[in-house]
Amino acid sequence: MGDTYIFLVIGIIFLSIMLWETHRNKILIAEMEKRLDEKEKRLDEIYEALESIVQFTLAEIKDKDTEISSTRMIAVHDNSLRSSALPHEQTNYETIYPLHNDKRKAVILMHKGGSTEEEIAKKLGIGIGEVRLILGLMK
């Protein structure tokens, strides 16, 4: 009969250990689920940020396409100015690019329009070194 009590005590201890381990595992699983939910929220935030970046990039591409097409139109306008201007006349960038009073923008637009550095410098009345500097900074 003494052996029966020993087996019963060992069984109760074993059962207690199993219940304790089960409880501990449930707590660990709950913590892992909580961390998983936090990571899922972060992923959602990252996804939203990425979506915002993509939308912004698409808008920038659309703006660049618009700018390129307007550059082509300005280049055509520039060619008509070139043919109508007398050789000794110098036109400044405000008359060539009235929408772009900025010298840097005028240089870049003329360069994209196919003008050489010398032509740009002559048209805008600036030095060729300044044109090269602006174009170098663009890269």
Instruction: Write b or e for each residue in 66-90: b if 16 or more Cβ atoms lie within 10 A of its Cβ, otherwise e.
Output: eeeeebeebbeebeeeeeeeeeeee
**What is the Cα Rg of the chain in Å?**
37
Question: pTM to 2 decimals?
Answer: 0.36
Tokens at 85, concatenated? 């201007």
The yes-or-no verdict on residue 80 having pLDDT over 70 is: no
Angstrom CA distances, 28 to 5, 24, 25, 44, 122, stand at 34, 6, 5, 24, 75
- Residue 18: in which H helix or E strand, if any? helix 2-84
The yes-or-no verdict on residue 78 having pLDDT over 70 is: no
DSSP output for 42-95 = HHHHHHHHHHHHHHHHHHHHHHHHHHHHHHHHHHHHHHHHHHHS-TT----HHH
11-15, 60-64, 77-81: the lowest-pLDDT one: 77-81
The yes-or-no verdict on residue 72 having pLDDT over 70 is: no
Please provide residue 28's backbone torsions phi and psi, each rounded to the nearest 5 degrees: -60, -40
- Per-residue pLDDT tens over the stretch 38-66: 999 999 888 888 888 888 888 777 777 66
Domain positions in the chain: 2-138
Which pLDDT does position 85 carry in this prediction? 45
Cα 82 from Cα 75, distance rounded (Å): 10
Which pLDDT does position 27 carry in this prediction? 95
- Per-residue pLDDT tens over the stretch 27-36: 999 999 999 9
Which pLDDT does position 15 carry in this prediction? 95
